[in-house]
Structure 1
Amino acid sequence: MMNTGRRDNILRCPFCERPLGAAEQIMTKFGNVIEGGRCDCGAVYVYDGSGHNVGDAYVDALTLACDGDLDTAWSMTPGEDYDVKEFFYDQRRNRFSTETVGRGRRAAVYLFVKVIK
């Protein structure tokens, strides 16, 4: 599991430590396009470049983790049915971290969700 506070210039899955590629555009079941991806371990991630839409990113990631099934997504309980990890991206320093960028600045967010089997 990724260490709290770790700073890295490579995006890694927080559940298995595998390096991940850049977020891709994914067409959802409802026709929205989101930026994100999947890890081989089963985790999914969504990218919020502004850091202002983390709530939407959370819904998108949870829905992506449930293969577009909203009923399943909304029936799950965090910590019991799935885990969530949030990473911030500091564009100035090209670093990913579990800590916010600081000084009130909004940072891009990568939100990871993994369904617990």
Structure 2
Amino acid sequence: MLTHNALAVIYSLGIVVSTCLLFYKPTRAKVLILWGFVILLFAFEYEKHILEGLKEQTINSLITERQSVKIEYYVTKILTKAVPFVLPIIGWVLVIAGAFYNRIETHIFKIIDRNV
């Protein structure tokens, strides 16, 4: 049975494993994977613990004198919709790019060599 923090445990395990592999033999691909798991863990914790407090704090600091529905609308949309949507995408793109880094790098160098 999965706990409600199973994803956080998996992402943390990915961070630990990729860090150990980086100490053994550092490569760019492993750095991409490490940063991907760090961003995925941050995205998980952001949605679970950071989101509401950050939204309220940002709205309170931006709206000081009079109520502004427009500012509140945009802050709410960005912090509650855009950031939770974009962070996991960035994290998974980095993990996948790290996993296929050698193929991607070889392909890019072939394209560059053809054009030169």
Higher strand proportion, which one?
Answer: 1
Do the structures match in fold with TM over 0.5? Answer: no
TM-score of the two chains, using structure 1 as the length reference: 0.25
TM-score of the two chains, using structure 2 as the length reference: 0.25
Task: Flag the structure with larger Rg.
Answer: 2
